[in-house]
A and B are shown apart, each in its own frame.
Chain A
Amino acid sequence: MEITVTVNGTQYTHDVEPRTLLVQYIREHVGLTGTNIGCDTSSCGACSLHLNGEAVKSCTVLAVQADGAEIRTIEGMAADDGTLHPMQQAFMENHGLQCGYCTPGMVMAATSLLRENPNPTEEEVRIGLEGNLCRCTGYHNIVKSVLAAASAGA
């Protein structure tokens, strides 16, 4: 099936198998590999990206369902001049990542969280990110990063 999507401001048209997941489409057809795959049960959130402005786990969406959608991936977060998005900056300043594999998904989920709730409590951040697993940080510095980004008005 032919689909047309806009990813990070660029329009793409591809012929895809109906069974192709959005995450596979982004990685294998569009060629953007910043969106990672960490599970096969939609549990880990590593593949989170923004679909029409909202964070989704891109393994729960078929590519054909995204036909016509605006998609933003981790590659589209920093400014054109290379300036990190405030959420990326907050993760860096607060050591909110170690191996970095969950990080793109975390950043996408966290920015979506702040869009819905610009001034969350620590508890609200923890609950808001419960669909995204991290094995390295114990979440302590991830939560700190998101709260710092909220304070900075990200």
Chain B
Amino acid sequence: MTITEEPATEAGVIGRRILRKEDPVLLTGEAVFTNDMKVAGALYMAVLRSPYAHARIESIDTSAARAIDGVRAVYTGADLADLWAAPMPCAWAVTEDMKNPPHHPIATDTVNFVGDGVAVVLADTDAIAHDGIEAIDVTYEPLDAVTDLEDALSDRVLVHEELGTNTSYTWNLLVEETDGAVQRAFDEAAHTVSERYVQQRLIPMAMEPRAVVAVPQPFGGDITLYSATQIPHVLKVMIAVTLGVPEHQLRVVAPAVGGGFGAKLDVYAEELLCVALARKLGTPVRWNETRSENTVASIQGRGQIQHVELAADSNGKLTAIRVRLTADMGAYLQLITPGIPLLGAFLYAGVYDLPKAYDFSCTGVFTTLTPTDAYRGAGRPEATYAIERAMDALAREVGVDPLELRRRNFIRAEQFPYEAFTGLVYDSGDHDKAATIAADLVDYDGVRARQATQNVEGATKRLGLGVSSYFEMCGLAPSRVLASLNYSAGGWEAATVRILPTAKVQVVTGTSPHGQGHETAWSMIVADKLGIDPADVDVLHSDTAIAPLGMDTYGSRSLPVGGVAVGMACDRVIEKAKQIAAHQMEANADDLEFVDGEFRVTGTPSKATPLAAIAFAAFTAHDLPDGLEPNLEAQVTYDPPNFSWPFGTHMCLVEVDTETGDVDVLKYVAVDDCGNQVNPLIVEGQVHGGVIQGLAQALYEGASYDTDGNLQTSTLAEYLVPAASDVPPLTLGHSVTPSPTNSLGVKGVGEAGTIGSAPAVMNAIVDALSGLGVRDVPMPASPNTVWHAMASATAPSDTATSSNPGGTT
């Protein structure tokens, strides 16, 4: 493994800060988002949603709605029951005995969360459709809600009575060198810590709400679904299964998509409803999600209670880890709801060298709340939060500086590739280096010295420095590993590279970008390989008729899986072109090299044929080698041999006002290593956005529910997505440690910022207040919460803390 400071390909296109080709249409309003589509004759759908978290539907009177001028149809769950060939899909049965209650797009007899669909109206305009749902009269028999995770575990109130329990599953991962190794390690430990953290529910809040347009071909039978989704390919398969639509007659398109962050990585009721109703009526049906619907009817993220215990020797070297998770599923299992905590299950040892003494268990629990599912990082931010907060607790216990404790435990650079206690192989890394760069950027020793003088008794502004080192398991994923986790799909990605007769290039990718800049980055990969200008490359994506094969975009997978596939397809095209070049140059193919976009006879650079000439020759097919097919095109489906393992260290410097509890972030340093960077401009943008989403979890955001299961933060007026004035500028550093497992040496970067940042911020706050006896501050660390943490630390009491990640008050 090599470690370089500079991009691997200094002379090529890779590593250059090329401006995005996506931008002009987005900057001018020319981009077409799903809600922008003009579709003649489309009926607008609106969904009546339950105002109760848990209730029986006694009766639904739709007569007044039907009477409204412009309302074309009203349907209840009972009216539509025949349309569903199967319940809504959950693709991840994490255990054989996992409980998964049937979930249909519209409820029939009971509702199980505020926002559950009860009836739909189709009308000539969006406004009339909403008038229609206002006019529907539903009589409910309210049932008890269950919003607190530990209360839900007790089965005092059952969400789904027929299951007889609220526990969906318990999943265990016990890794021991010898039987009883974990308990022995704890018995013999010089130091132990036992921590409890709450991951509050978060609302992903992509700026574009969801939108759906289904356009049928009434006589031909084909149907096209346009959806603001991250997963057009997965959606196509799932709709075929769920609605019984012949898959070959179904086309799914994700037009311009305004962010996803996991919330558009799902199969939603409204997508199924629009397709089913468009087929039933033979007319286009469309739906636009309002923001207030989005907060209850799209998935939420996080929602865990974490108990983490660390055992360490006298030097603070970790000897065992025990983790007990309770994970909030919400009312139903969506596409990968139960698997989210498992994506973190392998990461509770973080970046540290842990012996085989690891005991992890997670219990998934139903509540009467909006279903949870993937949100940026999906399981990995939660895991990183727990270990990085616990490492600070251990540092206090051992009596060493938190950075020093981390250095004592880091997997060392020379240990890579490193086979972890789980059997997973970490591809490459240099944690000490990333931490050193971060420490230099934040002036670590200088800050510690300032703290000694500033954080004196009676100080009203206390300085805190938080450290977080992370590993991210991304690039989902080797299909065989997914199989071992009982996931219902593979983790491959497809790419086609097609050189057109005039030497322009089309790339077809199975990734489905929604802000990540794949058109630019894939063009750069192709340009670098083929020796052409990135402007001569067009990237086609997100339409199953154009890009029929794909596994879409999530889990920081697009570059390390999809981008690598694009590079491999280029290599195959070059190989084919070389055969044509050899034939035409009357040379042996083995004697040809491909340099700067032309084939040269090795040692005779004057004898060269440009790729453009080969492209035209492949098109005319007048003079090809015997048996060689015309045209220059290659398709690759790449199944990665390993995850990719980006890593880094973040450091956050805060000042906490002890009189108000206000937290001021003075400096935020993020050092991220995602291997070779295709376009550093895009990498930095991903880190910026990721860091602020994690910082927002730490300081501002939380889906707050009352005990009746009403979301109290159901609009952007209450749910505090930070504005520019709420967040600091960011200081980025990076190192480049290429991944040895793929041909581009790349790793994913989409989630890294979010994974590293929340613990850095919270460790900083606790660090600032540790002199006052504060050991933990719950997220989000609002001034009120911080103030109460200080108050309860100075006046110790046994007041129980809320056990609800939903933040029930």
Flag B488-524 by CB within 8 Å of A: 1 or 0 each.
Answer: 0000000000000000000000000011110000000
With both chains docked as a complex, state the minimum distance between the C-beta of A121 and any C-beta of chain B, in angstroms: 12
Residues of A within 8 A of B684 (CB): 95, 141
List the one stretch of B29-37, B174-182, B234-242 in contact with chain A: B29-37
CB-CB contacts of B379-409 with A at 8 A, as 1s and 0s? 0000000000000000000000000000000
Please, which residues of chain A bring their CB within 8 A of the CB of B377? none
Contacts of A93 in B (CB 8 A): 19
Segment of B142-150, B589-597, B632-640, B685-693 in the binding face = B685-693
Contact, CB under 8 Å: A100 / B723: no
Q: In this complex, which of A33, A78, A92, A98 has the most chain B Cβ atoms within 10 angstroms of its Cβ?
A: A98
Is A9 interfacial (CB 8 A cutoff)?
no
Once the chains bind, are A92 and B681 in contact (CB under 8 Å)? Answer: no
A31 to B20, CA, bound (A): 27
Expressed in whole angstroms, the Cα–Cα distance for A73 and B29 within the complex equals 9
The answer, yes or no, to whether B341 is at the interface (CB within 8 Å) is: no
Cβ-based interface call for B452 (8 A)? no
Chain A 86-108 interface 0/1 with B at a Cβ cutoff of 8 Å (1 = within) = 00100111010111111110010
Q: When the two chains form their complex, are residues A38 and B127 in contact, meaning their CB atoms are under 8 A apart?
A: no
Contacts of A91 in B (CB 8 A): 23, 27
B interface residues, tally (CB under 8 Å) = 58
One digit per residue, 1 when the CB lies within 8 angstroms of any chain B CB and 0 when it does not, for chain A 64-88 equals 0000000001110110000010001
User: Please, how many angstroms separate the alpha-carbon atoms of A30 and B20 in the complex?
Assistant: 30
- Interface contact B723-A41, CB-CB below 8 Å: no
Bound complex: CA of A126 vs CA of B730, how far in Å? Answer: 14
Measured in the bound complex, the distance between the Cα atoms of B682 and A137 in whole Å is: 10
Q: Which partner residue on chain B sits nearest A122 by CB separation?
A: B729
List of B residues within 8 angstroms of A95 by Cβ: 19-20, 681-682, 684-685
Which of A126, A130, A139 has the most B CB atoms < 10 Å from its CB? A139
> Do A31 and B38 form a contact, CB below 8 Å, given A75-B29, A100-B27, A139-B727?
yes
Given contacts A39-B291, A140-B730, contact A99 B208 (CB under 8 A): yes
Question: Does residue A148 face the partner (Cβ distance < 8 Å to B)?
Answer: no
The range of chain A's interface size is 35 or more
Question: Quick check: which of B362-370, B714-722, B763-771 contacts chain A, the rest being far away?
Answer: B714-722
Closest chain A residue to B687 by CB distance?
A: A138
Does A149 touch B at the CB level, under 8 Å?
A: no
Least Cβ–Cβ distance between B168 and chain A, in angstroms: 30
* A150 at the binding interface (Cβ < 8 Å): no
A100: chain B residues within 8 A (beta carbon):
22-23, 25-27, 31, 256, 258, 515
**Closest-CB distance, B202 to chain A (whole angstroms):** 12
Which chain A positions have C-beta within 8 A of B206?
99, 101, 135
Q: How far is the CB of A24 from chain B (nearest CB, A)?
A: 8
Is B259 in contact with chain A by the CB < 8 A criterion? Answer: yes
- Chain B residue at minimum C-beta to C-beta distance from A88: B27
Can you name the residue of chain B whose Cβ is closest to the Cβ of A107?
B27
Within 8 A of A (CB), among B722-780: 723-727, 729-730, 753
Hey, which chain B residues are within 8 Å of A44, CB to CB? 207, 291, 716
As a 0/1 sequence over residues 236 to 273 of chain B, the CB contacts with chain A under 8 angstroms (1 = contact) are 00000000000000000000111101000000000000
Q: Which residues of A contact B291 (CB under 8 A)?
A: 38-41, 44
Question: In this assembly, does B784 line the interface, its C-beta being within 8 Å of a C-beta of chain A?
Answer: no
Measured between beta carbons, the chain B residues less than 8 angstroms from A136 are 207, 259, 515, 685, 689
B32 to chain A minimum Cβ distance, whole angstroms, is 7
Chain A positions within 8 Å of B24 at CB level: 84, 92
Contacts of A35 in B (CB 8 A): 29
State in angstroms the CA–CA spacing of A101 and B127 once bound together: 23
CB pair B724–A130 under 8 Å, yes or no, is: yes
Does the CB pair A33–B36 fall under 8 Å? Answer: yes
Does B217 reach chain A (CB closer than 8 Å)? no
CB pair A97–B23 under 8 Å, yes or no, is yes
- Using Cβ atoms and an 8 Å threshold, which residues of chain A touch B26? 97, 99-100, 103
Which chain A residues border B23 with CB–CB below 8 Å?
91-92, 97, 100
Bound CA span A84–B687, Å? 27
On whether the beta carbons of A135 and B290 are closer than 8 Å, the reply is: no
Chain A CB within 8 A of B809 CB: no
Query: Known: A126-B725, A127-B725. Is A101-B38 also a contact (CB below 8 A)?
Result: no
Interface assignment of A58: CB less than 8 Å from any CB of chain B: no
- Chain A residues near B681 (CB, 8 Å)? 95
Q: Taking CB as reference atom, which chain B residue is nearest A87? A: B27
CB-defined contacts of A37 to chain B, threshold 8 Å:
35, 209, 288
Contact partners of B730 in chain A: CB under 8 A: 138, 140
How far, in whole Å, are A88 and B571 apart by their CA atoms in the complex? 37
Complex: how many Å from CA A153 to CA B722?
28
In the complex, A99 Cα to B724 Cα: how many Å?
A: 17
Give the contacting residue for B727; candidates A84, A102, A131, A138; CB below 8 A: A138
Q: Is B305 an interface residue (CB 8 A)?
A: no
- Whole-angstrom distance between the Cβ of A104 and the nearest chain B Cβ: 5
Contact A43 B29 (CB under 8 A): no
Is B28 in contact with A77, judged by CB distance below 8 angstroms? yes
In the bound complex, CA of A143 to CA of B723 (Å): 11
Does A134 have its Cβ within 8 Å of any Cβ on chain B? yes
* A32: Cβ under 8 A from any B Cβ: yes
A118 at the interface (CB under 8 A from B): no
Q: Does B530 contact A (CB under 8 A)?
A: no
What is the distance, in angstroms, from A85's C-beta to the closest C-beta of chain B?
Answer: 9
B260 to A, closest residue via Cβ: A99
Of all A-B residue pairs in the complex, the 4 with the closest CB atoms, nearest first, are A34-B29, A101-B258, A100-B26, A99-B515
List residues of chain B with CB under 8 Å of any chain A CB.
Answer: 19-20, 22-33, 35-36, 38, 127, 205-209, 256-259, 261, 288, 290-292, 514-517, 681-682, 684-685, 688-693, 715-717, 721, 723-727, 729-730, 753
What 18 new A-B contacts, CB under 8 Å, besides A38-B291, A92-B24, A103-B26? A34-B31, A39-B291, A43-B716, A46-B207, A92-B27, A93-B19, A95-B681, A97-B23, A98-B517, A99-B26, A99-B206, A101-B33, A129-B725, A133-B716, A137-B688, A138-B693, A140-B688, A143-B729
